[in-house]
Structure 1
Amino acid sequence: MAVKRIRQLPLQTIVLDSFTVFWGDWLDLRVRIPQVAASGLVSPLIYILAFGLGLGSSIDQVTEPSAGDNYLEFILPGMVALSSMVISFGGTTFSICGDRLFSKTFEEMLLLPVHPLSLHLGKMLAGVVRGLMTAASVILVAVLFTGQVWSFINPLFLLLLVLNCSVFAGLGVIVGLNVKSLESVGLFNNFLIVPMSFLGGTFFDPMTLPLALKVIVFLLPLTYTTIGLRAAAYQPIAVFPWYSIPILLAVAIALSFVGAYQFSHQQD
């Protein structure tokens, strides 16, 4: 039913309605830009200091990283991916939970005369903006540590970053629509986001893992973001993992249709 309704609506209408839904979140988000930009910066800074500067100095004495001149440079793209994932997911989930469980304004949005896919995309776009704000702060830190501006703002790097935010903001929308309490959000964070933070290739090269572990790691969307960002920042375009772009895009599209289905059947 949801897919049939999507086909009946012009794409332009869906896009315009998505920006309308996004604008409602943006009016609230724009007054908290410094807070949002800094909210996901603490953990990456701790990881950079502890792993990049602390542990990294020992690692650099015994081996060379597969990308970047040292271990600190190696993990910096992963920190960008990590921060954008955490804020895109968490900010989106808590925003929807707040509307559903506390302010009780979510029902009003469900009454809007827009397509369910537009509702999902609008909320997802707000999550993407949150993730990009925080990622921009981490990118600034990365540039200060490395002095390589173009490495972190080239088109491939930014494209992967937007796709990563889209994937986890879309996941945040779905989780936000289904959880019954804030404690449930904590469970998703502890059993999904935290493990992915350490297993998504942020601190190691997934290609060096044994086959069994490699299969598990490459089931995680963050892995494709991390290896893509690392290649876009440091390696020649000839060795760029182009497969990471369609995989992340496919995951984001799949989550969009799941989210649209959830919105079309949501009862709050």
Structure 2
Amino acid sequence: MDFQVGTLKARKSYLQTLIADSLTIFWGDWLELRVRIAQVAASGLVSPLIYILAFGLGLGSSLPKPAVGDSYLEFILPGMAALSSMTISFGGTTFSICGDRLFAKTFEELLLVPVHPLALHMGKMLAGVVRGLMTSAAVVLVAAIFTGKVWSFLNPLFWLLLILNCAVFAGLGVIVGLKVRSLESVGLVNNFLIVPMSFLGATFFEPGTLPGFLKVVVYLLPLTYTSIGLRAAAYLPLSQFPWYSILVLFIVAIALSLYGAYLFSHQQD
């Protein structure tokens, strides 16, 4: 019994230390981020607003009523929130780490900090989550103005999915930031992964209507589960909510965190 109690206390102490160290790493990024809150919140609004105007108000007026939402504009608005959170969480995290590694040459100091590699990953990931939520909040505000359905976008499930989506792509941004050797490599990753996912991640269409092969490809993308979940959280009753979307995003975020911690523990620069 004493051994079990001691083990539980040791695990509790380890978890508290891990959380505290993660918040310490996050705080270093937050000190730089807080002076650019308006810039960060606005930076991810351009693409969603263009898509809303072009597809939601333009093309959408000639399309039939979708399966979810009262109009095509309502259909794509949750997808725009998912898209903006993905773009900023990934891009902001990647360029932050690349800037420290490749230009400021201050990344070595971070690697010398006596904290667990998982805390390093989680701290950087949390900063990416905050970046993504700032932009998502701006997109959600636009969505509430266009639809008038304010409470649909204040749904706790809606924001839980956004947080998980930010965690997934901020975690991916940490990994890419640790592995690339130049900013050109970041551009390649963005062009071959993030941009295609922006259009294939169920942001503009219902994946259930696709042919078999394409459906498999679309359901391999984490953004798909975010888009599906956000639409359900905003417009459908709780009984129709796809709970599997939360599970998938959580598992992907955990897997990326473990791999990111591994990379931090073996990082040489």
Partner residue in 2 for 1:43: 47
Partner residue in 2 for 1:96: 97
For residues 4-32 of structure 1, the C-alpha deviation after alignment (integer angstroms, 9 at most, x for no partner) is xxx89711111110000000000000000
> Superposition pairs for residues 86-235 of structure 1, below 5 Å?
86-235=87-236
Matched letter for residue 35 of structure 1: Q
| Residue 253 of structure 2 is aligned to residue 246 of structure 1 | no
For residues 78-100 of structure 1, the C-alpha deviation after alignment (integer angstroms, 9 at most, x for no partner) is 00000000000000000000000
Secondary structure in 2 aligned to 1:65? coil
Following the alignment from structure 1 to structure 2, what is the Cα–Cα distance between the partners of residues 163 and 200? Answer: 15
Partner residue in 2 for 1:14: 18
Kindly report the root-mean-square deviation, in angstroms, between the aligned alpha carbons of the 2 structures: 1.0
Matched letter for residue 230 of structure 2: L
Q: 1:212 deviation in Å?
A: 1.2
Q: 1:153 deviation in Å?
A: 1.4
Matched letter for residue 75 of structure 1: I
CA 1:189–1:9: 2 relative to 1, 3 Å: farther
For residues 151-179 of structure 1, the C-alpha deviation after alignment (integer angstroms, 9 at most, x for no partner) is 11111000000000000000000000000
Partner residue in 1 for 2:262: 261
CA 1:95–1:55: 2 relative to 1, 3 Å: same
For residues 88-118 of structure 1, the C-alpha deviation after alignment (integer angstroms, 9 at most, x for no partner) is 0000000000000000000000000100000
Q: 1:34 aligns with which of 25, 38, 43?
A: 38
Following the alignment from structure 2 to structure 1, what is the Cα–Cα distance between the partners of residues 247 and 17? Answer: 25
Q: 1:129 deviation in Å?
A: 0.1
Following the alignment from structure 2 to structure 1, what is the Cα–Cα distance between the partners of residues 32 and 134? Answer: 15
Following the alignment from structure 1 to structure 2, what is the Cα–Cα distance between the partners of residues 228 and 253? Answer: 19
Aligned length: 259
Matched letter for residue 54 of structure 2: A
Structure 1 regions of 5+ residues with no counterpart?
1-6
Following the alignment from structure 1 to structure 2, what is the Cα–Cα distance between the partners of residues 229 and 255? Answer: 22
Q: 1:267 deviation in Å?
A: 0.5
Partner residue in 2 for 1:77: 78
TM-score, with length taken from structure 1: 0.95
Secondary structure in 1 aligned to 2:158? helix
TM-score, with length taken from structure 2: 0.95
Structure 2 regions of 5+ residues with no counterpart?
1-10
Following the alignment from structure 2 to structure 1, what is the Cα–Cα distance between the partners of residues 13 and 219? Answer: 36
Secondary structure in 1 aligned to 2:171? helix
CA 1:253–1:8: 2 relative to 1, 3 Å: same
